[in-house]
Chain A
Amino acid sequence: MNQIKHVDNNDLKEKINFECETGNYHTFCPISCVAWLYQKIEDSFFLVIGTKTCGYFLQNALGVMIFAEPRYAMAELEEGDISAQLSDYEELKRLCLQVKRDRNPSVIFWIGTCTTEIIKMDLEGIAPKLEAEISLPIVVARANGLDYAFTQGEDTVLAALAQRPNAKQLETPLEKAIPTDKDYIEHVPLILFGSIPDPVVNQLTLELKKQGIRVSGWLPSKRYTELPLINEGNYVCGVNPYLSRTATTLMRRRKCKLIGAPFPIGPDGTRAWLEKICTVFSIEPKGLQQREDEIWEKLKYYVSLIDGKSVFFMGDNLLEISLARFLIRSGMIVFEIGIPYMDKRYQGAELQLLQKTCKEKNIPIPIIIEKPDNYNQVDRIRDMKPDLVITGMAHANPLEARGINTKWSVEFTFAQIHGFTNAIEVLELVTRPLRRNQKLEKIGSQRYTDRR
């Protein structure tokens, strides 16, 4: 069942081994993206059109958030909906009017699920009509488990947003934001895409400002009504490794130029990301070497904890390549990089940086396993005995009981990990199990089960 493929990229002098397993792995359903997107886009409402199963997942996975009057809900399909005894249009209209009345959002996102796919509910067809009727924008994203894993949910939503035509050039002149500013050089507008918390948006925007580059907008913005203008010929650049559909949409539908860069995760990634953007705008980057060195200096203690230790990524959120690259740079040995889906073009620059990093650290390039098989992986973990396994919550406790340190991968999705400032957060997470174990040394055996 396993296939070994080689990627032929002329820039990759040494070939990276990609393997593909059975796809029997644990990950979150992509509808989980509503958890962070409804908080990011403050005037939105997310309606997940699915079954009790979807609802149960959201309710349990998002824990406490559910009680804070969330701006998301299930449109729970009943037997009548499945057997088409009820009109989808009428039903959705009823629910959306209720949402409009109770919450008055600026936009409603419809999240399509496995069920809407299977019964072929024509959400994209219904939305424009309903949008006109209730005069509220409706954005449709198919974030289902048939096609996507976990963070790819955000990709489907952002790709849908990227397709929205620019709002009519508003009366308020945009020019007021473009002063005769000596801080910036003149360049083609740059729009960054990827949902990250506002403080991190500010941090990355400021890093670019230091190089004289102005960020014209972010996709998504804080509010739906503040979505950036995207025009033909603009430059776009991603901050997250799982946004390949969004990138494709921006290139093909909006005729933007994609800056293919490594992702700003870790000081090495952040620097490479900034440098790549600078190169595109023909700017000589200033002070980056020093900035990166300073950050590494601050990470010294954490690096000393993980230097020479080994790590195994089971794979579930597509951040794996970037994280592995950063950890290798920090001195770790990576046994295996599991990943749900690998877009070799969108992640091309990141793969190259991984390769370069391995070369400089003089270690072999880890094998990259697409669509991993968790059962096989646990077997390999038993053989390899890595110092740390980065994995989902389904496997964490059982592995810990077998004396294997784990870190929940989901935390990397929810923590602030981008840019120079937050490099430390990544290592905080990675070293936590190691630091914890140092303190627990007195409790005795590390094994807490007799089973295999």
Chain B
Amino acid sequence: MKLAYWMYAGPAHIGTLRIASSFKNVHAIMHAPLGDDYFNVMRSMLERKRDFTAVTASVVDRHVLARGSQEKVVNNISRKDKEEKPDLVVLTPTCTSSILQEDLQNFVNRASIETQADVLLADVNHYRVNEMQAADRTLEQIVQFYIKKAQKIKQLDTTKTIEPSVNIIGSFNLAFHNQHDIAELKRLMSDLNIKINSIIPEGASVQELKNLPKAWFNIIPYREIGLLTAEYLKDEFDMPFIDTTPMGVVETANCIRKIQYILNDNNADVNFEKYIDIQTRFVSQSAWFSRSIDCQNLTGKKAIVFGDSTHAAAMTKILTKEMGINVVWAGTYCKYDKSWFEKEVGDLCDEIVITDDHNLIGDLIAKVEPAVIFGTQMERHVAKRLNIPCGVISAPVHIQNFPLSYRPFLGYEGANQIADLIYNSFTLGMEDHLLEIFGGHDTKEVLSAGLSVTSEDSEIKWNLESQAELTKIPGFIRGKIKRNTEKFAQEQKMETITLEIMYAAKEAAA
């Protein structure tokens, strides 16, 4: 047992559901107790999705516990098949179902005899993998299933497209600024004259998966989810893939050069150097920004970085190589990806931290006292407590990490966004610091004269109970309530305010 208050990565089934519900017309059925369909709330709330989340539960209750699911799961699968006519139903095990050890594969086999839809059992072990690993695995599983299916009925066409083309493997729901990142990648590909063959899984139909081998290569923007699929396609069809995340101008250039290499390997004869140069110097602002005087002031400032391995590594590279900032330590909660992370940023920071214990991270931040933190929502809260500025660069996320406006992290526009994020975090920190030195805003007196909060000269007394009650009212409306109550008491010619009078005043004011 482990005492845990908070976790960076969710349980395995969340990863499976994220993949299933990203595809178009795929329905997931969770084998889970009542209340485990919280995923639907997250998708509907965080992403503000307009459509019903294609996830239902085959509820595990006392009866199931006593006598097994029997026909229940099979019935639920065929019911959804009739109601929604999905292309694929993914039966999703949860922590509960994995200890029940029912033969879910058997249910899948039986159900798929009756259903129009294909039926798959997500192959994830709840106690061994987390959300990202499960998502990675599920995506591979679905892709593999449809490739094999096409092979079987001899419909798999592996001829490459005439023009250079790419599959982008890495668009998901509930991912960090993902929608914007994908738009930016599409723009980049169109600049490079590369056709998009497929973008999976978000918005894609499972029917188009058999076309994946037609692309010249694959791009995996985030290494947490998609690598397994890319490796599978490499093994099966010898498709090259690029797992360099185009985040920051340097890495974007690296990514483009790799694309160039792959295309030329296939006799496309392209040279992107000029494009990179123009983008870096004139189109994107961030490289020039790094040279500007403002950015000079950031040289050698202490920062710490924490997040998933993709974002934490990319951010560390940007801070050190593009801004001259001193990253004291960089870390990730993707423990299973330790060696990659160490290889990527080992020589860019003083120390590497691999942990999923947020308390440890909090302590380490407090010890280092960095000028700025780049981390997840959890680090943002630590930062608030320690009064250190913080920029959020990675999941886990809140609703404010699903902005309406265009905010990519990838590509050249992404580099601009990140430069703003970094610079704004620091200026705020500087301003705070200056304010402290000079003892705060000198306009304090003037301000408080305008923001009258309490009338100190009030004649009316508050008895102990009502005073205690008053302190429970949130600060920002307490003044108003106090005034209203006193006014009410004056009107009623009361001299002492009691609890009764407080409530009566509240009712009168309504």
A residues in contact (CB < 8 Å) with B: 23-31, 49, 51-53, 55-57, 59-61, 63, 66-67, 70, 73-79, 81-82, 86, 91-92, 94-95, 98-99, 114-115, 117-119, 144-150, 198-199, 202-203, 206, 294-295, 298, 375, 378, 392-398, 401, 420-421, 424, 448-449, 451
Which residues of the other chain, B, contact A118 by a CB distance below 8 angstroms? 65, 96, 99-100
Pair B62/A146 contact, Cβ less than 8 Å: yes
**What's the least CB distance linking A142 to chain B, in Å?**
12
Could you write out 12 A-B pairs with CB less than 8 Å apart? A26-B41, A31-B35, A51-B11, A61-B41, A67-B381, A75-B1, A76-B1, A79-B127, A146-B65, A394-B41, A395-B52, A448-B50
Is B61 an interface position by the 8 A CB rule? Answer: yes
A95-B1, A98-B3 given as contacts; is B33 within 8 A of A114 (CB)?
A: yes
Q: Tell me the dominant secondary structure on chain A's binding face.
A: helix
Contact of B1 with A26 in the complex, beta carbons under 8 Å: no
A26 x B37 contact (CB < 8 A):
yes
The answer to whether A30 and B38 have CB atoms under 8 Å apart is no
CA gap between A95 and B59 in the complex, in Å: 31
Tell me if B3 and A75 are in contact (CB < 8 A).
Answer: yes
Q: Which residues of A contact B4 (CB under 8 A)?
A: 55, 73-76
**B34 → chain A, closest Cβ, in Å?**
4
Q: Which of B44, B500, B506 has the most CB of A within 10 A?
A: B44
Contact B45 A393 (CB under 8 A): yes
Contacts of A77 in B (CB 8 A): 1
Inter-chain CA distance A57–B506, complex, in Å, is 36
Q: How far apart are the CA atoms of A55 and B396 in the complex, in Å?
A: 14
Question: What residue in chain B is nearest A205 (Cβ atoms)?
Answer: B499
Is B56 close to A, CB under 8 A? Answer: yes
Interface hub of A27, A81, A147, A397 (most chain B Cβ within 10 A): A397
Neighbouring A residues of B1 by C-beta, 8 Å = 49, 75-78, 81, 86, 91-92, 94-95
Contact B40 A75 (CB under 8 A): no
Bound form: Cα–Cα A203–B378 in Å: 38
Write the nearest CB–CB distance from B21 to chain A, whole angstroms: 12
Q: What chain A residues lie within 8 Å of B37 (beta carbons)?
A: 26, 394
Chain B residue nearest to A375 (CB atoms) is B83
List CB contacts (< 8 Å) of B401-449 with chain A.
none
Please tell me if the beta carbons of A29 and B506 are within 8 angstroms of each other in the complex.
no
B48 CB within 8 Å of chain A: yes
Do the beta carbons of A149 and B49 come within 8 Å of each other?
no
Instruction: Pick the contact of A28: B35, B42, B469 (CB < 8 A).
Output: B35
Interface size band for B: 35 or more
Please tell me if the beta carbons of B95 and A53 are within 8 angstroms of each other in the complex. Answer: yes
- The residue that B6 contacts in the complex, of A53, A59, A81, A448, with Cβ under 8 A, is A59
Interface centre among B13, B99, B381 (most CB of A within 10 A): B99
A-B pairs, 4 with minimum CB distance: A29-B35, A145-B33, A401-B50, A394-B40
Q: B1-28 toward A: CB 8 Å interface, digit per residue (1/0)?
A: 1111111001101100000000000000
Q: Which partner residue on chain A sits nearest B499 by CB separation?
A: A202
Cα of A298 to Cα of B507 in the assembled complex, Å: 8
Central interface residue in B13, B45, B398, B510, by most chain A CB within 10 Å? B510
Closest residue of chain B to A294 (Cβ to Cβ) is B507
Query: Which residues of chain A are near B52, meaning CB under 8 Å?
Result: 378, 395, 398
Knowing A52-B95, A67-B381, A76-B1, say if A206 contacts B14 (CB, 8 Å).
no
| CB-based contact B5/A199 at 8 Å | no
- Cβ of A27 and Cβ of B3 under 8 Å apart? no
* Complex Cα spacing A393 to B33, Å: 18
Which chain A residues border B60 with CB–CB below 8 Å?
A: 114, 146
Tell me if B472 is interfacial: C-beta within 8 Å of chain A. Answer: yes
Are B44 and A75 within 8 A (Cβ)?
Answer: no
Docked complex Cα distance between A294 and B508 (Å): 10
- Chain A: CB-nearest residue to B130: A52
How far apart sit A129 and B490, CA to CA, in the bound complex (Å)? 59
Query: Quick check: B34 and A149 within 8 Å, CB to CB?
Result: yes
Q: Separation in Å of the B18 CB from the closest CB of chain A? A: 13
Beta-carbon nearest neighbor of B44 in chain A: A397
Residue among B7, B50, B76 with most chain A CB within 10 A: B50
Q: A56-B11, A75-B3, A395-B44 are in contact. Are A117 and B36 (CB under 8 A)?
A: no
B53 (CB) vs chain A CBs: closest residue: A394
Question: Which residues in B have their C-beta under 8 angstroms from that of A378?
Answer: 52
B80 CB to closest chain A CB (Å) equals 9
A55 to B41, alpha carbons, bound, how many Å? 16
- B127 contacts across to A, CB distance below 8 A: 78-79, 82
Contacts of B45 in A (CB 8 A): 393, 397
| Contact in complex: A392, B507 (CB < 8 Å) | no
Q: Are A24 and B100 in contact (CB under 8 A)?
A: no
Which residue of A is nearest B11, CB measured?
A52
- Residues from chain B with a CB closer than 8 A to the CB of A198 are 472
**A451/B35 in contact, CB under 8 A:** no
The distance from the CB of B39 to the nearest CB of chain A, in whole angstroms, is 9
Q: Is the CB of A144 within 8 A of B6?
A: no
CB-nearest residue of chain A to B64: A146
CB-CB < 8 A to A28: which residues of B? 35, 38
Contact between chains at A23 and B33 (CB < 8 Å): no
CA of A307 to CA of B244, assembled, Å? 61
**Of residues 376 to 396 in B, which have CB atoms within 8 Å of A's CB atoms?**
378, 381
Please indicate the chain B residues that have their CB under 8 angstroms from the CB of A114 in the complex. 33, 60, 95-96
B394 to chain A, nearest CB (A): 16
Evaluate whether A60 and B36 lie within 8 angstroms (CB atoms) in the complex, with A118-B100, A378-B52 already known: no
**B94 at interface (Cβ–Cβ under 8 A)?**
yes
- Is B503 in contact with A206, judged by CB distance below 8 angstroms? yes
Chain A contacts of B94 at CB under 8 A?
Answer: 53
B126 within 8 A of A: yes
- Among residues 78 to 97 in chain B, which have CB atoms less than 8 Å away from a CB atom of chain A? 83, 94-96
Inter-subunit contact B95/A51 (CB<8 Å): yes
Is the pair B35, A145 in contact by a Cβ cutoff of 8 Å? yes
The residue on B at minimum CB distance from A77 is B1
Shortest beta-carbon distance, B199 to chain A, in Å? Answer: 20
Taken together as a complex, chains A and B put the C-alpha atoms of A300 and B465 apart, in Å, by 31
Cross-interface CB contact of B51 among A78, A81, A295, A398, cutoff 8 Å: A398
Interface contact A115-B51, CB-CB below 8 Å? no
Chain B min CB distance to A172 (Å): 20
Q: Would A150 and B6 be within 8 Å (CB), given that A82-B99, A394-B40, A397-B44 are in contact?
A: no
In this assembly, does B57 line the interface, its C-beta being within 8 Å of a C-beta of chain A? yes
Instruction: Type the 1/0 row for B303-346, where 1 means its CB is closer than 8 Å to any CB of A.
Output: 00000000000000000000000000000000000000000000
Pair A145/B36 contact, Cβ less than 8 Å: yes
Q: How far is the CA of A91 from the CA of B500 in the complex (A)?
A: 50
Which chain A positions have C-beta within 8 A of B510?
298, 424
Evaluate contact between A73 and B5: CB separation under 8 angstroms: yes
B27 to chain A, nearest CB (A): 11
Given the interface pairs A51-B11, A114-B96, A398-B49, the reply to whether A24 lies near B57 with Cβ below 8 Å is: yes
Q: Which residues from chain B contact A392 at a C-beta distance below 8 Å?
A: 41
Q: A205 to nearest B CB, angstroms?
A: 9
Q: Which of B36, B41, B42, B94: most chain A Cβ within 10 A?
A: B41
B40 engages A26 (CB within 8 Å): yes
- Shortest CB-to-CB span from B84 to chain A, Å, is 9
| With A56-B11, A78-B2 as contacts: A397 and B48 at CB distance below 8 Å | yes
In the complex, what's the smallest C-beta–C-beta distance from B22 to chain A, in angstroms? 16
Complex CA–CA separation, A28 to B34 (angstroms): 8
